[in-house]
């Protein structure tokens, strides 16, 4: 029994040592955090002209007016074939143009009447005149003084699209707006 007892003690001592020392625990590394350097914006070098434009409200007002004038001139109204009466879309566009003209009482305009290539030169000049004048009459109806509006007809002489098809003809049946005193 002594051998059994000693064996028991040896096994007990080895077990205790194993439990005390055990398996070495793995060290847990802290999660990697990506460190990004702070973004440093380089200041914009401004010239005296830039400073004057940033500070001067007149320059900003003129820039806005120039943009509004370009939008005014770049938006035509369209007409149906052989017609000079205004479509609902044309009336909407003319109402927007009247708002611009009311906000800018010193602006005078020219309305150009255009036609497609079909019909005689004389007929298209007369139709273009009726188109320009129908746009003028509607603007006057909306409160714009008639002496601020001039009209001219180019008939079929200045097509927007020179092709001879329905799509081109539809583009060419229009009234174009030009600001006279920029």
In this prediction, what percent of the chain has a pLDDT beyond 70?
70
pTM over 0.85: no
The average pLDDT across 140-146 equals 97
C-alpha closest to that of 76 among 117, 111, 123, 27: 111
Task: Kindly tell me if the per-residue pLDDT of 92 is higher than 60.
Answer: yes
Average pLDDT in the 45-51 region? 63
Q: How confident is the model at residue 59 (pLDDT cuts 50, 70, 90)?
A: confident
Six-digit token pair at 110?
């020219």
How many residues are recorded in the chain?
182
Phi/psi of residue 144, each to 5°?
Answer: -85, 130
Q: Does the structure show a pLDDT above 80 at 73?
A: yes
Q: Where are the alpha helices (DSSP H) in 24-181?
A: 48-55, 57-73, 88-103, 121-141, 166-172
**Residue 174, beta-bridge partner list:** 78
State residue 30's pLDDT score. 61
Q: Evaluate if residue 64 carries a pLDDT over 60.
A: yes
Q: State how far Cα 120 lies from the chain centre.
A: 40
The structural domains of the chain, ordered by start, are 56-179 (3.30.1330.60)
CA-angle at 73, arms to 72 and 75, nearest 5°: 75
Mean pLDDT (the chain, rounded)? 85
pLDDT over threshold 90, residue 98: yes
Phi-psi region of 143 (alpha: psi -120 to 50; beta: other; left: phi over 0): left
Question: What number is the average pLDDT over the span 4-12?
Answer: 65
Pick from 23-32, 42-51, 100-109, 144-153: least confident: 23-32
**Residue 181 tokens, joined:** 């005193």
pLDDT at 118: 94
Residue 31 pLDDT class (50, 70, 90 cuts): low
């Amino acid at each position: 029994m002594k051998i059994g007892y000693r064996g028991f003690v040896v096994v007990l001592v080895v077990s205790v040592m194993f439990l005390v020392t055990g398996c070495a625990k793995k060290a847990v590394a802290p999660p990697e955090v990506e460190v990004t350097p702070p973004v440093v914006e380089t200041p914009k070098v401004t010239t005296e002209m830039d400073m004057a434009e940033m500070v001067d409200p007149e320059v900003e007002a003129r820039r806005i007016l120039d943009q509004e004038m370009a939008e005014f001139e770049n938006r035509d109204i369209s007409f149906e074939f052989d017609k000079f009466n205004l479509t609902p879309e044309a009336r909407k566009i003319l109402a927007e143009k009247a708002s611009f003209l009311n906000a800018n009482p010193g602006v005078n305009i020219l309305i150009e009447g255009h036609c497609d290539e079909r019909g005689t030169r004389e007929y298209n000049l007369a139709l273009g005149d009726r188109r320009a004048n129908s746009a003028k009459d509607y603007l006057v109806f909306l409160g714009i003084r008639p002496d601020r509006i001039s009209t001219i007809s180019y008939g079929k002489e200045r097509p927007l699209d020179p092709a001879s098809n329905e799509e081109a003809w539809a583009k060419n049946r229009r009234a174009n707006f030009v600001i006279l005193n920029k």
